[in-house]
């Protein structure tokens, strides 16, 4: 590490106002220094203060937050004491930020070119060329195809990955010494994320910029950063070289965080023999689905022919043996949620056949008989949306008990307590409302509600993607236990390949509504047949490979 620190943080304290006289501490007297050109990763679960810390580098606080003490200097400049006009000169020119959601950080009615030219003019960064030339140069440096065409496009005409590249270009306009990336790839699909990360790594190597990378995804940090902070409750629990922290975490918290990362290697060896649909819990044969016509006549469709079309499914066939899990992987728009909706009866297919336990599944849920509805249950992605905020936990879980088993209030209450206990929650939760629960607790309530009907098949639609990693690990643990104890069959949908690999006996890879790969987990992971699956695997593998490489470097 070079002798003179580039960034020096001393006793930085940031508090949030929670009431007229009460405050909570978001960053608690943190001190550290960063050398020039270093890449620092900040990890931690939501609410640990990592985003607040990242913003502090730009002397920016969220509404209601206040820096309560300490200092932060970048190259000798005391950032927190800058006057408004000095701040304007500092932000963007000395330090820049790449925010999480590229769509909300671009103005919809301005073209990409207008965005960049404005910044180039503001920072007088054209360097002898016209602003347009400089902007095109930046777009080319972002490895965007056809910069001249992108220059004239509007943000909504770009893909998520392209938008994020544009936002990174905007951050690089004035060649700042410090770039803060706040979860820049969280909204992107895995293969796109991988490309964007490679780009950032190359740019960093070329320019020697100091990089601070905030993410909850430890794989991303392992891939991008030499040094890592593990944050919890506003404190830096661990600080050290990434490889050292990841291989020898000193605190229990860091250990649980690292242990909770699903890795592709942990895929369980499947002992299921090739299965051909005899006695399957769920079998689907050549399922087709498409929206017959766009809902309503829509003149805007003509103006925006590139607007995303609702996903369609074609020629889907699969069979899940009872008591096992079929993982469905695919990126957003691949049609995986549509598949779950068709099985659940939220939408009706246009062709093919679905059988559940030999019985033909057809029509929408209201037309199916009660016993069938009871036996096929669904757990949704976001418990904040799937649990009615006006109901108590008891009402939420007792309702299916009353509907499916005609239980009396008292009997339903007793059974609800049993279910809650089974999920590690207990009777004290009966009268709570969902908003009084954490995300992990909410999802457990949702799982309890799904299991209230004693289902044979549970459709799990991205059940852990709204949760932090350690919470995700515990929820997945609960689901595996329930499957073992009740012999339930899962259709497990996720965009996260390691999670699917951990959960599933079989994997089905969907792309644009078509099956790209289907087979036993080990077979698909070790010998994918389609290029699409290979790319997907590579995107995840590089992340964990990087972790292994760093670990080996550290060991030697």
Partner 1 sequence: MVDVLNVASETTATPRSSTLKRALSQPATVFGVILVAAHLFLALFSPLIAPHDSSALVGAPLLRPSWEFLMGTDQIGRDYFSRIIEGGRIALLVSFCGVAIALAVGTILGVLAGYVGGRFDEIIMRFVDAMMSIPEIILIAILTLALGKDIWALIPVVAAVYCWGVVRVMRAKTISLSTLDFVRAAELRGETRLAIILREILPNLTGLLGVELAVRVSSAVLRISALSFLGLGISQPTPDWGLMVQEAMGVVFTDPWFLLLPAVMLSTLIIGVNFMVDGFARAFGIASTEL
Q: Where are the alpha helices (DSSP H) in 276-425?
A: 300-303, 336-344, 370-375, 383-386, 393-405, 409-422
Site stretch for partner 1 (CB under 8 A), options 76-84, 351-359, 385-393, 495-503: 385-393
Instruction: Select from 481, 531, 552, 553 the one that contacts partner 1 (CB under 8 A).
Output: 481
Cβ distance to partner 1 smaller for residue 1 or 259: 259
Q: Is 284 in the site for partner 1 (CB under 8 A)?
A: no
Two structure tokens written together for 265: 């290697």
Cβ distance to partner 1 smaller for residue 197 or 344: 344
Are the CB atoms for 394 and 416 separated by under 8 Å?
yes
Are the CB atoms for 228 and 242 separated by under 8 Å?
yes
Are the CB atoms for 469 and 261 separated by under 8 Å?
yes
Site stretch for partner 1 (CB under 8 A), options 110-118, 421-429, 485-493, 514-522: 421-429
Q: Is 362 in the site for partner 1 (CB under 8 A)?
A: no
| Number of shown-chain residues binding partner 1 (CB under 8 A) | 50
**Quick one: which of 125, 135, 193 has its CA closest to 332?**
193
In 10 A of CB 170, how many CB atoms?
25
Q: Is 378 in the site for partner 1 (CB under 8 A)?
A: yes
Q: Which residues pair with 517 in a beta bridge?
A: 509
Cβ distance to partner 1 smaller for residue 278 or 390: 390
Cβ distance to partner 1 smaller for residue 67 or 403: 403
Residues 389-408 touching partner 1, rule: CB under 8 A, are 389-391, 399-400, 403-404
Per the listing, tokens 């949620």 go with: 337
CA distance 146 to 330: 28
Two structure tokens written together for 80: 């927190």
Cβ distance to partner 1 smaller for residue 145 or 389: 389
Q: Is 386 in the site for partner 1 (CB under 8 A)?
A: yes
Cβ distance to partner 1 smaller for residue 287 or 459: 459
Q: Which residues pair with 91 in a beta bridge?
A: 95
Site stretch for partner 1 (CB under 8 A), options 66-74, 405-413, 476-484, 547-555: 476-484
Q: Is 436 in the site for partner 1 (CB under 8 A)?
A: yes
Instruction: Select from 438, 526, 527, 553 the one that contacts partner 1 (CB under 8 A).
Output: 438
Q: Which strands sit side by side in the sheet containing 313-320, from one edge to the other?
A: 313-320, 282-289, 351-356, 359-361
Cα torsion 412, 414, 418, 423 to 10°: value is 60
Q: Is 66 in the site for partner 1 (CB under 8 A)?
A: no
CA distance 454 to 25: 44
Task: Report how far Cα 67 is from the mean position of its chain's Cα atoms.
Answer: 29
Q: Is 365 in the site for partner 1 (CB under 8 A)?
A: yes
Are the CB atoms for 329 and 299 separated by under 8 Å?
no
Q: Is 425 in the site for partner 1 (CB under 8 A)?
A: yes
CA distance 64 to 116: 31
Are the CB atoms for 215 and 183 separated by under 8 Å?
yes
Smallest gap from residue 8 Cβ to partner 1 (A): 32
Smallest gap from residue 545 Cβ to partner 1 (A): 25
Instruction: Select from 64, 127, 351, 424 the one that contacts partner 1 (CB under 8 A).
Output: 424
Instruction: Select from 27, 437, 499, 507 the one that contacts partner 1 (CB under 8 A).
Output: 437
Cβ distance to partner 1 smaller for residue 478 or 536: 478
**Quick one: which of 245, 231, 252 has its CA closest to 25?**
231
Label the pairing between strands 210-214 and 23-34: unpaired
Cβ distance to partner 1 smaller for residue 341 or 536: 341
CA distance 90 to 84: 10
Q: Is 289 in the site for partner 1 (CB under 8 A)?
A: no
Q: Is 44 in the site for partner 1 (CB under 8 A)?
A: no
CA distance 373 to 361: 10
Site stretch for partner 1 (CB under 8 A), options 8-16, 60-68, 200-208, 468-476: 468-476
Q: Is 208 in the site for partner 1 (CB under 8 A)?
A: no
Are the CB atoms for 355 and 407 separated by under 8 Å?
no
Cβ distance to partner 1 smaller for residue 402 or 549: 402
Per the listing, tokens 């929650």 go with: 425
Instruction: Select from 204, 433, 465, 529 the one that contacts partner 1 (CB under 8 A).
Output: 433
Q: Is 421 in the site for partner 1 (CB under 8 A)?
A: no
Could you list the residues that contact partner 1 (CB under 8 A)?
Answer: 19-20, 47, 256, 259-260, 344-346, 365-366, 368, 370, 373, 377-378, 380-382, 385-391, 399-400, 403-404, 424-426, 432-433, 435-438, 440-441, 444, 449, 470-471, 473-474, 477-478, 481
């Amino acid at each position: 590490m070079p002798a003179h620190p580039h960034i020096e943080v001393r006793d930085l304290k940031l508090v949030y106002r929670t009431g007229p006289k009460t405050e909570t501490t978001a960053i608690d007297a943190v001190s550290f220094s960063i050398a020039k050109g270093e890449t620092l990763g900040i990890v931690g679960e939501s609410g640990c203060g990592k985003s607040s810390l990242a913003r502090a580098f730009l002397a920016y606080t969220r509404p209601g937050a206040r820096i309560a003490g300490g200092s932060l200097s970048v190259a000798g400049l005391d950032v927190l004491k800058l006057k408004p006009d000095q701040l304007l000169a500092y932000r963007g020119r000395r330090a820049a930020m790449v925010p999480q959601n590229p769509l909300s950080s671009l103005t919809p009615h301005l073209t990409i070119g207008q965005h960049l030219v404005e910044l180039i003019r503001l920072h007088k960064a054209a360097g002898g060329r016209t602003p347009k030339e400089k902007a095109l140069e930046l777009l080319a440096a972002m490895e965007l195809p056809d910069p001249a065409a992108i220059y004239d496009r509007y943000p909504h005409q770009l893909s998520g990955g392209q938008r994020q590249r544009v936002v990174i270009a905007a951050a690089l306009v004035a060649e700042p010494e410090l770039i803060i990336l706040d979860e820049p790839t969280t909204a992107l699909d895995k293969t796109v994320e991988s490309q964007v990360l490679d780009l950032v790594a190359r740019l960093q190597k070329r320019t020697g910029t100091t990089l601070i990378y905030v993410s909850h995804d430890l794989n991303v940090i392992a891939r991008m950063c030499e040094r890592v902070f593990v944050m919890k409750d506003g404190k830096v629990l661990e600080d050290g070289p990434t490889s050292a922290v990841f291989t020898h975490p000193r605190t229990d918290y860091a250990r649980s965080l690292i242990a909770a990362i699903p890795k592709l290697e942990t895929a369980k060896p499947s002992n299921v023999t090739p299965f051909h649909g005899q006695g399957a819990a769920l079998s689907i044969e050549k399922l087709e689905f498409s929206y017959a016509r766009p809902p309503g006549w829509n003149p805007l469709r003509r103006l925006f022919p590139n607007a995303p079309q609702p996903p369609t499914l074609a020629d889907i066939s699969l069979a899940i043996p009872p008591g096992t899990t079929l993982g469905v992987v695919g990126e957003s728009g691949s049609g995986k949620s549509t598949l779950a909706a068709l099985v659940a009866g939220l939408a009706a297919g246009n062709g093919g056949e679905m059988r559940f336990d030999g019985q033909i599944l057809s029509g929408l849920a209201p037309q199916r008989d009660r016993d069938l509805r009871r036996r096929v249950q669904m757990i949704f992605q976001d418990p904040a949306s799937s649990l009615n905020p006006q109901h108590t936990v008891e009402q939420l879980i007792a309702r299916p008990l009353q509907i499916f088993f005609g239980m009396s209030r008292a009997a339903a209450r007793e059974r609800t307590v049993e279910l809650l206990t089974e999920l590690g929650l207990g009777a004290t939760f009966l009268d709570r409302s969902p908003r009084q629960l954490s995300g992990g607790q909410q999802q457990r309530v949702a799982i309890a509600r799904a299991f209230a009907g004693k289902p044979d098949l549970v459709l799990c639609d991205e059940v852990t993607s709204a949760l932090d990693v350690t919470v995700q690990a515990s929820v997945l643990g609960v689901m595996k236990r329930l499957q073992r104890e009740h012999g339930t069959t899962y259709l497990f949908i996720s965009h996260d390949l390691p999670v699917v690999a951990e959960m599933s006996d079989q994997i089905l890879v969907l792309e644009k509504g078509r099956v790209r790969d289907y087979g036993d987990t080990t077979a698909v992971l070790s010998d994918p047949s389609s290029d699409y699956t290979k790319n997907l695997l590579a995107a995840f593998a590089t992340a964990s490979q990087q972790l292994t490489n760093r670990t080996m470097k550290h060991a030697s």
